[in-house]
């Protein structure tokens, strides 16, 4: 589930954004928790960096969205930021606060979905909490990367074995390897990707993870051992 904040003083715009978000969620089986704020002062008053995406109106009473966004970046430099506006004249200023996109009112669903998809993709690939998203037959599942023990591929399906259970998705091990490469995962053969943190030991042609043995392929053993040694030394 993703947490979203809408900072907007126009009720009609709030309704449109909520409608678009929920429609996107239904289409792609993603859950969202949405909170709304009618002005930026209330939004920033007790702000905690717990949101994944923020929609910020530029023209608001008491404090405009651009000023609010500069204050926001002092509190949270990671959250994805969308500006909503009736004019495109603020685009250059948006770079100063790392705005992901501008949405020009009235906001149509096609424009929204196109830009919103980029935010979801960024969150799935580079979540600041080390979380990854995998599309399963039951919808999108969010996993902690450091909870994954290993990933195995069989008949074009990848099975994630985690500390909490197993989850399966359609896809290639290569694509999974690309997502997990920054989290100390390494292949021991062409069918298995292992989290080096959970390696119990290496003996002859096998690596053991939580009591389960995996056989090295001919060309992977040396590379895997080198990666494991570097990992244990903090490299």
169 DSSP β-pair partners:
158
User: Over its length of 235 residues, how does the chain's per-residue pLDDT go in tens digits?
Assistant: 899 999 999 999 999 999 999 999 999 888 899 999 999 999 999 999 999 999 999 999 999 999 999 999 999 988 999 999 886 555 555 556 788 888 999 999 999 999 999 898 778 765 545 777 787 777 778 788 888 999 999 988 999 999 888 998 888 999 899 888 778 899 999 999 999 989 999 999 999 998 899 999 989 999 999 999 888 766 5
Q: Structural domain boundaries of the chain?
A: 2-125, 134-232
Q: Please give the pLDDT value at position 94.
A: 55
Instruction: Classify 199 as helix, strand or coil.
Output: strand
Same CATH fold assignment for domains 2-125 and 134-232: no
Q: Which CATH code, of 3.30.70.590, 2.40.50.1020, 3.90.1010.10, 3.40.50.720, is assigned to 134-232?
A: 2.40.50.1020
As a whole number of angstroms, the distance between CA 227 and CA 99 comes to 37
Domain 2-125 has CATH 3.90.380.10: no
Q: What are phi and psi of 117, to 5 degrees?
A: -60, -35
Residue 127: predicted pLDDT? 52
All residues at 6 or more sequence positions from 4 whose CB lies less than 8 Å from its CB, including other chains = 21, 32, 33, 34, 35, 51, 52, 53, 54, 55
- Whole-prediction pTM value? 0.56
Cα end-to-end distance, the chain, whole Å: 33
| Pair 216, 205: CB distance under 8 Å | yes
Alpha carbons 173 and 60: distance in angstroms, whole number = 48
* Nearest alpha carbon to residue 72 among 96, 36, 103, 102: 96
Residue 39 vs residues 21, 63, 122, 176, 211: alpha-carbon distances, Å: 20, 7, 27, 41, 55
List phi, psi (to 5°) of 182. Answer: -85, 0
Length in residues, the chain: 235
pLDDT of 171: 85
């Amino acid at each position: 589930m993703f947490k979203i904040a809408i900072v907007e003083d126009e009720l009609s715009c709030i309704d449109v954004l909520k409608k678009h978000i929920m429609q996107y969620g239904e289409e792609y089986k993603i859950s969202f928790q949405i909170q709304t704020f009618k002005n930026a002062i209330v939004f920033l008053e007790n702000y905690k960096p717990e949101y994944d995406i923020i929609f910020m109106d530029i023209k608001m009473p008491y404090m405009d969205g651009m000023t609010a966004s500069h204050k926001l970046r002092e509190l949270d430099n990671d959250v994805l930021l969308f500006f909503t506006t009736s004019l495109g004249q603020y685009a250059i200023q948006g770079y100063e606060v790392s705005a992901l996109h501008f949405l020009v009112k009235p906001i149509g669903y096609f424009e929204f979905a196109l830009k919103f998809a980029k935010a979801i993709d960024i969150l799935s690939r580079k979540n600041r909490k080390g979380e990854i998203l995998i599309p399963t037959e039951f919808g999108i599942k969010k996993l902690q990367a450091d909870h994954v023990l290993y990933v195995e591929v069989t008949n074009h399906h990848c099975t994630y074995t985690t500390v909490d259970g197993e989850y399966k998705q359609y896809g290639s091990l290569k694509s999974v390897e690309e997502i997990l490469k920054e989290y100390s995962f390494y292949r021991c053969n062409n069918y298995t990707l292992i989290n080096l943190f959970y390696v119990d030991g290496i003996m002859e042609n096998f690596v053991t993870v939580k009591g389960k043995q995996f056989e090295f392929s001919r060309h992977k053993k040396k590379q895997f051992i080198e990666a494991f040694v570097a990992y244990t030394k903090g490299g």
